[in-house]
Amino acid sequence: MHVLGILARRLGQILASVVMVALLVFTLMRLLPGDPALTLLGERATDAQIAQLHHELGLDRSILVQFWEFLIHTVTLRFGDSITLRVPVITLVREGLPITLMLTGMAALMALLIAVPLAFVAALRPGSWTDAAIRVVSQVSLSVPVFYIGLVLLVVLAAGLHWFPVGGIGKGFFEDLYYLFLPALTLSLSLSAVLLRNLRQSLIEVLQAEYVEFATAKGLSRRVILGRHVLRNAWISTITLLGLHIGSLVGGAVITETVFAIPGIGRLTIDSIFSRDYAVVQGLTMVLAVLVSVVFLLVDAIQALLDPRMGA
């Protein structure tokens, strides 16, 4: 019941957040310079042709009417048709969303696989040369931009050593894993550095707690103490941090998909912004907003299971 109460409160917050995101993306898209009608018709289009296309696209209606229709279409998953591609936006979402979800999921998993073992090594030997080396490497990962890391890995591992493809996507699940490994690694490095630093500090604090000393005095094995007592309590703040960085992970996927020419919704969003394709940008942004909100909801539920005091 405790977890259900937390989820109910979070659902109300998610609904309010989604409405705010809808208002924000709707406003920002119309503040961008340029006219989608001119993008489609070209600079030689007459005023009559532009007015006719505005009417067909619904751009000649009042802002309030356009926003209300946008909300209705969002609720019913009818985002309209792409202005430039002339296909339903929901079709573009179905084609690109699985790729982006697979990329971000792989990146999050790889970040955890990198951060957790290194955090344990650093926390068990604080102040040692190993700890210092791990912290320096994590600081470098945080300082270097994602697109630069992607370009370096692309040049060295793909174009140079030919270990990985230079871009694109595969034709099946396992081939997709192979094609997305390098982009996911690029995306995971900065996140793993953040998680590593947080988890290391949490582990050091928990290792100094009295209940850990008591467990050691009881004669429990080192493995049981680290897994059952230390990691369980140190893990809470790291889970929170991972959830908070899901949004930035999706934002990094936009850049990564562009660098590696991956046909996901991140790259599609960039292309749609430049072409002033209102329907695509609005639809993709709303889908991502809902997905990120769902991740936050899952993180809150996991936190409540790990520590029942949270949300009380």
Structure tokens at 293: 């909100």
Contact 21, 286 (CB under 8 A): yes
Residues 6+ apart with CB under 8 A from 93: 79, 265, 283, 284, 287
Collapse the DSSP code of 88 into the 3-class scheme (helix H, G, I; strand E, B; otherwise coil) and give the result.
Answer: strand
Does 3 score more than 60 pLDDT?
A: no
- The model's pLDDT over 217-266, given as tens digits with 9 standing for 90+, comes to 666 666 666 766 666 677 777 777 887 777 778 777 888 888 888 888 88
Angstrom distance (rounded) from CA 272 to CA 40:
12
Q: Give residue 2's pLDDT.
A: 55
Average pLDDT over residues 282-310: 73
pLDDT band, very low/low/confident/very high, at 275 (cuts 50, 70, 90): confident
Q: Give this prediction's pTM.
A: 0.75
Tokens of 152: 């370096």
pLDDT score of 296 more than 70: yes
On average, the pLDDT of the chain sits at 77
Distance CA 270, CA 261 (A): 12
Please name which of 17, 6, 25, 33 lies closest in space to residue 281, comparing C-alpha atoms: 25
- Residue 6 banded pLDDT, cuts 50, 70, 90: low
Q: What share of the chain is helix, strand, coil (3-state, %, to 5)?
A: 80, 0, 20
- Four-way CATH pick for 89-274: 1.10.357.10, 3.20.20.140, 3.40.50.970, 1.10.3720.10: 1.10.3720.10
Nearest C-alpha neighbor of 57 from the set 277, 284, 285: 277
* pLDDT tens for each residue of 98-120: 888 888 889 989 988 988 888 88
Q: What's 167's DSSP letter?
A: S
Distance CA 253, CA 261 (A): 11
Q: Tens digits of per-residue pLDDT, 31-79?
A: 766 666 666 666 676 777 777 767 766 677 777 877 887 777 777 777 7
- Neighbour-count burial for 133-143, b at 16+ CB within 10 Å, e otherwise: ebbeebeebee
Instruction: Classify residue 282 by burial, with Cβ atoms within 10 Å: 0-12, 13-18, 19+.
Output: buried
pLDDT level of residue 216 (50, 70, 90 thresholds) = low
Mean pLDDT, rounded, for 179-197: 87
